[in-house]
């Protein structure tokens, strides 16, 4: 779905490697889901095993604040 809205986009950078597959992570399509809501995002993803990396700043920042909003819906 090329036209689908993306709520957040994060470059994979050069330094992130999937420990299991031994390949560099690339910017890939992912989705956050919580309480029947889904947010398409672009995050560093392993092209082989599909491991999605959520950095600490994102988890404790945007993700946490969106969780709080949804919990009070």
Partner 1 sequence: MTDHFKERSTRDYHQKQLFSKEDLERRESLCTHEDPPFCNAACPLKLDVKAMLAAVSDGDFAKGRSLMEFISPFPEILAWGCDAPCRKVCRRSEIEESVNIPAIERAIMQHSMVPKAKGLLKLRKKQRLAVFGSSLFTLALAADMAAKKYPVTLYTEAEDEMDLMRRCADLPDEILQRQLPLLRKADLKICYSTIVDRAFLENEEKNYDLVCGAEYLKTDEVDPVTLCDDGNRVFPHAEKKYSPILQSFFDARRAAVSLERIIQRIDPHKSRPQEGETESHLFTNLTYIPSEEAVIENGVYSREEAIREATRCIQCECVECFRGCAYLRAFKRYPRLLTREIYNNTGIIMGDHMMNKALNSCSLCGQCTVTCPNGYDMADICRAARENMVDTRKMSLAVHEFALLDMLFSNNEGYLARKQPGHETCRYVYFPGCQANGIAPDTVYETYRDLMNRKEGGVALMLGCCSVIAKWAGRRELYEEQISFLKEEMHKLGDPIIIAGCPTCRSTLREHFPEVIGLWDVLEEIGLPAGHETLTNEVMIHDACSARNDAATQDAIRRIVSSLGGTVKEGTWSKERTACCGYGGLVSYVNREIASQMSEECVKEDPDATYVTYCMACRDRLKRQGTDAVHFSELVYGISADDSPGLSQKRKNRKQLKEKLLKEDWKEETMEEKPAFTYELSEEVRQKMEDRMILESDLLETIQAYRDTQMAVYNEADETLTTQHRIGNVSFWVRFQEEENHYKILSVYSHRMTVRTR
Task: Note the residues at the interface with partner 1 (CB under 8 A).
Answer: 14-20, 25, 28-37, 40, 43-46, 49-54, 56, 59-60, 63-64, 66-67, 69-73
- In terms of residues, how long is the chain? 73
CA 66 vs CA 19, 41, 51, 63: distances in Å? 29, 13, 22, 5
The nearest distance, CB 32 to partner 1, in angstroms, is: 5
Number of neighbours of residue 42 by Cβ within 10 angstroms = 16
Please say which residue, 3 or 36, places its beta carbon nearer to partner 1: 36
CA angle 24, 51, 26 (to 5 degrees): 35
Cβ 9 to partner 1, closest distance in Å? 14
Q: Which is nearer to partner 1, 11 or 64 (CB)?
A: 64
């Amino acid at each position: 779905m090329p036209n689908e809205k993306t709520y957040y986009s994060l470059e994979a950078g050069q330094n992130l490697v999937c420990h299991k597959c031994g390949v560099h992570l690339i910017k890939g399509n992912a989705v956050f889901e919580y309480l029947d809501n889904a947010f398409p995002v672009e995050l560093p993803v392993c092209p082989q095993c599909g491991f999605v990396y959520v950095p600490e700043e994102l988890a404790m920042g945007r993700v946490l604040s969106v969780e709080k909003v949804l919990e009070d819906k």
